Amino acid sequence: MPAPEHPAPAAQAGPWLSQVEPCRRVATADEIAWDATTDFLVVGSGAAGSSAAAEACEHGLAVTLIDRFAGGGTTVASGGVIYAGGGTSLQRAAGVADSPEDMFRYLRLETQGCVSDRTLRRFCEQSRHTIDWLIGKGVKFRATLYPGKTSYPPVDYFLYHPDNSLVGSYAAQARPAARGHRGAGRLTRQQMEAAVSLGGSLIWPLHDWCRAQGVRWLPFTEARQLVQDRDGRVLGARVLELPEGPQRASFTQHLEAGARLQTLLPPIVPGSRLLRRLARRHLREAERLEREARVARFIRAERGVCLAAGGFVCNRPMVAHYAPAYRAGFPLGTSGDDGSGIRLGQSAGGATGRMQRMTAWRFINPPLAWARGIVVNRRGERVCNETVYGATLGIELVEQHGGAGWLILDARLLREARTQIAPGLTLPFQRQLARLNMLLGRHRARTLRELAAKVGIEPEGLVRSVASYNRAARGEIRDPLGKDPEDCAGITTPPFIAIDVGIAAKFFPCPTLTLGGLLVDEDSGLVCSQSGAPIPGLYAAGRTAVGVSSHLYVSGLSIADGVFSGRRAALHAATGRTWAPPP
């Protein structure tokens, strides 16, 4: 297990520590007047929490599932993609060849040791069975394959490459396979074209299954404090519940109005600031109603508590503390991503890891013509192979180049890009961003030196980079950054174009997501203490914990890790066993 990072005691003052209260320590469970008892208490109902609840229920545990809001978390707000492979039933139906070993070899390139090889192999071996498990809970998928490179496929495709597997340098080390499985149920075509809030296709069937099996579902209930005995075992939690009634109805109305106004216009569109101010009014009123109407209850958890409350990207002071290089990015998450699950674990002595690690999404394909240009830093040097997955490009920009970068195109590539974003070829959000940046976000010049002066790039560096790239495009040399020959295009036809693709780009928001969290025992999912010993009765899963996606994000990997880690925790709580592949 990696060495734990510096702890942040829950009793320490500071708003970035969230509203979590110091752990309540008792000699025995009898010191608490418990309001309810359950076998397994799950905090958070996204992919990790819902999967933990379902797995625990399958093993005969009495389960209580709570969520501060209506349920589903950032999983519901996502594009509804789960990363799966090794020969899933959908892959086989689409004629996609894959194996657990191929999947392992590829993910080993992306995860870079954030989990052990043993755990990564287990994740890959379980993957094909995970899809069948979800289908058994009512989740629907389709086997329509999109074979090319894209950040997100057109609306009629549900199986695609959500990663770097088609990039030549990766394909040379691991056989590519389409592993992005999009949920296909309960969605209108209009919702699918928006490509947001599609995760309900994965979550709502799980919730329905859990309720039908007797899981006690408590929405609008927040865990504020853990209870721990003198031996260090977590016994349960103190929660704040907003009971059903007029105040909860009003709270929900204000919360939904605030969320709707926040997403009505992208932050780059004129008028969005006004809408966001109106949204904050609704959200403040929701907070007031919540604060005044909630009641405190103690829930005893005989077999353990599982923290699955998401990451901390929406706790901006916490981001500034742990990952200041990503502060300028656009937070990709929901209000529940406030770090409370991580802070609860820390309050019981839990250690954290990779808290400085975030993902920054800089997708420049579609249009494919953009990825056939080059991305340079302030010195005019290329950042990386431009056809890589957007999170790879984003990490390179932030971690290696100070968050600054410009996409360099010429007139010919600009014309190609316009044809490639036609309706039917791209989703509306992809089309709108591309058009906006090609109209308002671009800088033009007749020469490369003039273009460099306009945007603050070192002219000599830009001229050298373009000259080298043009040689690769003509076939005179291999591209120095490993770009496939068919993806190289000469930048030769003026006017030359520069589009700001840095993390703080005015017309090109860069979504960010936190990847670190509580360190867990990889066999059981139990939270590890500062000494490395598991804390009895306390589990963590999903983005509340360090997991498979804690080094570099690829689409659907966080949801897949949530399902994997949630089920792992529940299995151990129910049986004391770790997962093994079925025969």
Q: What angle do CA 13, 19, 20 make, to 5 degrees?
A: 90
pLDDT for the residue numbered 580: 58
pLDDT for the residue numbered 583: 41
pLDDT for the residue numbered 275: 86
pLDDT for the residue numbered 546: 98
pLDDT for the residue numbered 248: 94
Helix (H, G, I), strand (E, B) or coil at 120: helix
pLDDT for the residue numbered 87: 98
Question: Count of CB atoms within 10 A of residue 173's CB?
Answer: 11
> What phi and psi values does residue 263 have, to the nearest 5 degrees?
-105, 0
Tokens of 328: 């300028």
Model confidence, pTM:
0.94
> Residues 6 or more apart from 17 whose CB is under 8 A from it?
8, 10, 318, 343
b/e 5-40 (16+ beta carbons within 10 angstroms → b): beebebeeeeebbbebbebbeeeeeeebebeeebbb
> Residues 6 or more apart from 521 whose CB is under 8 A from it?
1, 527, 528, 534
Q: Under CATH, which number does the domain 15-78+199-240+301-359+515-575 receive? A: 3.50.50.60
Over its length of 583 residues, how does the chain's per-residue pLDDT go in tens digits?
A: 545 553 343 333 344 568 899 999 999 999 999 999 999 999 999 999 999 999 999 999 999 999 999 999 999 989 999 999 999 999 999 999 999 999 999 999 999 999 999 999 999 999 999 999 999 999 999 999 999 988 899 989 999 999 999 999 999 999 999 999 999 987 777 777 766 679 999 999 999 999 999 999 999 999 999 999 999 999 999 999 999 999 999 999 998 898 888 767 666 566 677 888 898 899 899 999 999 999 999 999 999 999 999 999 999 999 999 999 999 999 998 889 999 999 999 999 999 999 999 999 999 999 999 999 999 999 999 999 999 999 999 999 999 999 999 999 999 999 999 999 998 888 888 898 899 999 989 999 999 999 999 999 999 999 999 999 999 999 999 999 999 999 999 999 999 999 999 999 989 999 999 999 999 999 999 999 999 999 999 999 999 999 999 999 999 999 999 999 999 999 999 999 886 544 4
pLDDT for the residue numbered 269: 61
> What phi and psi values does residue 143 have, to the nearest 5 degrees?
-105, 35
Q: How far is the C-alpha of 35 from the C-alpha of 21, rounded, in Å?
A: 19
> What phi and psi values does residue 136 have, to the nearest 5 degrees?
-65, -20
Closest CA to 65 of 38, 36, 46, 42: 42
pLDDT for the residue numbered 274: 87
pLDDT for the residue numbered 11: 35
> What phi and psi values does residue 514 have, to the nearest 5 degrees?
-80, 145
DSSP one-letter code for 520? B
Q: Hey, which CATH number is domain 362-500, 3.90.700.10, 3.40.50.620, 3.40.50.1110, 3.40.309.10?
A: 3.90.700.10
pLDDT for the residue numbered 190: 72
Q: DSSP string spanning 367-435?
A: SHHHHTSEEE-TTS-B-S-TTS-HHHHHHHHHHHHTT--EEEEEHHHHHHHHHHTSBTTB-HHHHHHHH
- Give me the residue spans of the domains in the chain: 15-78+199-240+301-359+515-575, 81-194, 243-293, 362-500
pLDDT for the residue numbered 4: 52
> Residues 6 or more apart from 256 whose CB is under 8 A from it?
none
